[in-house]
A and B are shown apart, each in its own frame.
Chain A
Amino acid sequence: MQSRTITALLAAVAATALTVGSAAAQDNKTVRIGNLSDQSGLYADLGGPGSTLAAQMAIEDSGLLAKGWKIDVIAGDHQNKPDVGTNIARQWYDVDKVDVIVDTPNSGVALAVNQVTREKNKAFLNSGAATSDLSGKACSPNTVHWTYDTWMLAHGTGEAVVKSGGDSWFFLTADYAFGHALERDTTEVVKANKGTVTGAVRHPLNTADFSSFLLQAQSSKAKIIGLANAGGDTTNSIKQASEFGITAGGQKLAALLLFLPDVHALGLQVAQGLTFTETFYWDLNDQTRAFSKRFSERMKNKMMPSMVHAGVYSAVLHYLKAMETFGGNPGDGAKVVAKMKEMPTDDALFGKGTIRADGRKLHPAYLFEVKKPAESKGPWDYYKLVATIPADKAFRPTAEGGCPLVK
């Protein structure tokens, strides 16, 4: 009799403990995602509102909402200014209870947010910024660099161009962290393949007129003019290079970083024949087509997703998977990121992959060529696949990055 009472008592205590435990976890099933991007400037179309939508779609596709989680996404505009980006990040982390910042194109801003995120022990899933320092000397236990980086671009596009005979280069470089990193990484590739770099000109971010810089590139007599810039800067340089007869004069352009919205803005007439590297294209396979169709239907201007948008979707989805294994939000960025690194990644857009200890997400990269107008079958049919670079070749080996986390 007495033993039965004790058993019942123990059961009751256990039950109470369980209830309290689950109630505590339930309180914590709230996640807030901040899309810190360029919402209005030259990178707004490749990230911006599209990245907010991508994050929203990942939340919906994670299935966590049906399980009682409360997950929302807010957006902020860093205006391509590191100080503005840092202030928003601090405000979000300290006041607005943001757990994770996503997207953040512009390497200057990304490096600053990387630092703040580490201080506050939150998480930073970068899709939009290119600098390979994010998984190199600036790597952090709180950051995952998802979609692409300058090392990958340099090796993908740079190597292909040098090997096809473009052995002398002149750079048109955007004068900030990203441009410098891309120029540095590409120079290494060119030199490693016995090519030469005859010079470089650094132009301010967001330049409308490239004619002066193009004239300098022209007089350098280099075979290849490497465009170490992005967004509106790249489209303006390409457009004006064709106007100044640069390509007609025998020099070739290497657009080291080109996004789908850029090709759309240029039009195939001007963009045709450009070779470049990306890690995502909407028309790769059935899964990417299905996602892109859903995305495009919800976008205001019906655009297809850029690789940055795809990266935001994939990163948020994996983040939420890691979050789910804890049964609630542990409120510890480094812990969630460590979990993300433990778990293999698998999603419709990038396929199977992994995240390395230095925070580098690994997946294949693709060398594309822009189609001729006659080859394009309809809206957004822009790319021809030239080569696939496997995941283990696409990104910089850990040992070469100088990341303090893996030493």
Chain B
Amino acid sequence: MQALYGQLVVGLINGSFYALLSLGLAVIFGMLNIINFAHGAFYMMGAFAAYFLLNWAGLGYWWALVLAPLMVGAVGVLVERTMLQWLTGLDHLYGLLLTFGLALVIQGVFQNEFGSSGLPYAIPAELRGAQNLGFMFLPNYRAWVIVFSLVVCLATWFVIERTKLGAYLRAATERPELVRAFGIDVPRMITLTYGFGVALAALAGVLAAPINQVRPLMGADFIIVVFAVVVIGGMGSIMGSIVTGFALGLIEGLTKYFYPEASSTVVFVIMAIVLLVKPNGLFGRTA
């Protein structure tokens, strides 16, 4: 039983990564209608940005938490301005293909430069050590990851669903011409939204750097699962991506306990079942 509680906590930690990443995807899909396959690559770039900041500029983890998302977010803005904006109004497939190709190029470049086995990134001194919860040993850093990503997720949800800025954003995706008539710069809003989604991915990358090796393929291994999370939650649903992110982390943790061999496929089994029962996902709006 003790081990089971441990698995639940660990599941929650993985769930927080799923939630952060799928949240970014949901924001981008909701606002730009683009299935952002480059999300995993941006997540990886976030981790590498943290590594560069530490080793080339001497700036530690806390700086990376702020600067890495800004840097990678800026790359996102550039990508949106130079490539994605030309796809407005076209079928989803074009965005998917473009971002998928982009992901392959980015990963290839990093792999060519840094090899595949990864680079070390240490846990910041303030968060080393662990708490003995009685049933398990919880590293402080992991506890921090759960709390921090939960706060970021809820803040994002709040901004989009409950503030004036969020209302503009949602309006701009529904009726761009009308919003433009009110004197609001819709293209800029869309660009910044993409940059924000990308920055969320980079933030998750910084959080992951001390746990995993900083590897060029760290995003590629992750992204398919995250897409499954988004599909289960309902494409574009903000709350859906947060809730399913955490829930699937938990389910995966339980699978690792009861039947570890299936832990890499359980998410897809759930996806298949959900799509059969609710084709728009658990939180998706009916078309």
A residues whose Cβ falls under 8 Å from a Cβ of B: 40-46, 48, 175, 201-204, 206-209, 211-213, 215-216, 218-219, 231-232, 235-236, 239-240, 243-245, 249, 261-262, 264-267, 269-270, 300-301, 303
A211 & B261 in contact (Cβ 8 Å cutoff): no
Partner of B6, one of A40, A206, A215, A266: A215
Q: Contacting A207 at CB < 8 Å: which of B7, B137, B264?
A: B264
B interface residues, how many (CB within 8 angstroms): 41
Known contacts A213-B256, A236-B213, A245-B130; A44/B261 CB under 8 A: no
Q: Is there an interface contact between B218 and A208, defined as CB atoms closer than 8 Å?
A: yes
Q: A245 near B215 (CB under 8 angstroms)?
A: no
- Are A269 and B122 neighbours in the complex by a CB distance under 8 Å? yes
Instruction: Assess the B111–A213 pair: CB atoms within 8 A.
Output: no
Docked Cα-Cα span, A41 to B221, in Å, equals: 10
B82-90, B112-120, B227-235, B273-281: which lies at the interface: B112-120
B212 within 8 A of A: yes
Q: Are A243 and B213 in contact (CB under 8 A)?
A: no
Question: Contacts A208-B221, A245-B139, A265-B117; is A216 near B3 (CB within 8 Å)?
Answer: yes
Q: A45-B116, A45-B117, A232-B215 are in contact. Are A244 and B130 (CB under 8 A)?
A: yes
Q: Quick one: which of B11, B118, B222, B256 contacts A235, CB cutoff 8 A?
A: B118
Return the contact of A243 from the options B116, B123, B256, B264 (Cβ within 8 A): B123
List B86-128 residues whose CB lies under 8 Å from chain A: 111-120, 122-123
Interface string of B248-287 (1 = CB under 8 A from A): 0000010011001101100000000000000000000000
- In the bound complex, residues from chain B placing their C-beta under 8 Å from that of A213 are 256, 260
B150 close to chain A: CB less than 8 A? no
CB-nearest residue of chain A to B139: A243
> Can you give 24 contacting A-B residue pairs, CB < 8 Å?
A40-B217, A42-B116, A42-B217, A45-B117, A48-B116, A211-B14, A213-B256, A215-B6, A215-B10, A216-B3, A218-B137, A232-B116, A232-B215, A235-B117, A236-B213, A239-B211, A240-B211, A244-B130, A245-B139, A262-B117, A269-B120, A269-B122, A270-B120, A300-B112
List chain B residues, Cβ under 8 A from A175. 260-261
B20 to A: closest C-beta gap in Å: 15
Is there a chain A Cβ closer than 8 Å to B38's Cβ? no
The answer to the question of B157 belonging to the interface, with a C-beta cut-off of 8 Å to chain A, is no
Task: Return A207 CB to nearest CB of chain B, in Å.
Answer: 7
B23 part of interface (Cβ distance < 8 Å):
no
- Structural contact, B10 and A211, CB atoms closer than 8 A: yes
Shortest Cβ distance from residue A242 to the other chain B in the assembled complex, whole angstroms: 9
Is A44 in contact with B253, judged by CB distance below 8 angstroms? no
**Complex contacts, B13 vs chain A, CB 8 Å:** 211
A sample of 10 more A-B contacts (CB under 8 A), given A212-B260, A232-B117, A243-B211, is A42-B116, A42-B117, A44-B115, A44-B116, A45-B116, A175-B260, A203-B256, A211-B142, A243-B123, A244-B137
Q: In the complex, which residues of chain A have a beta carbon less than 8 angstroms from the beta carbon of B52?
A: none
**Interface assignment of B141: CB less than 8 Å from any CB of chain A:** yes
* Across-interface contacts of A203 in B (CB, < 8 A): 256, 260, 263
CB distance from B122 to the nearest CB of A (A): 7
- Sorted nearest first, the 6 A-B pairs with minimum C-beta distance are A212-B256, A267-B120, A44-B116, A45-B117, A204-B264, A265-B117
- Asked if A215 and B212 sit within 8 Å, CB to CB, the answer is no
Q: Does B136 touch A at the CB level, under 8 Å?
A: yes
User: A201, B260: Cβ atoms under 8 Å?
Assistant: yes
- B257 surroundings in chain A (CB, below 8 A): 212, 216
A266 to B123, CA, bound (A): 13
Name the one of A216, A244, A261 contacting B115, with C-beta atoms under 8 angstroms: A261
Residues of chain B lying within 8 A (CB to CB) of residue A46: 117
CB distance from A110 to the nearest CB of B (A): 19
Cross-chain contact A208 with B222 (CB below 8 angstroms) = yes
- The distance from the CB of B161 to the nearest CB of chain A, in whole angstroms, is 30
B118 pairs with A40, CB closer than 8 A: no
A74 vs chain B, min Cβ distance (A): 19
- CB contacts (< 8 Å) of B115 on chain A: these are 44-45, 261, 301, 303
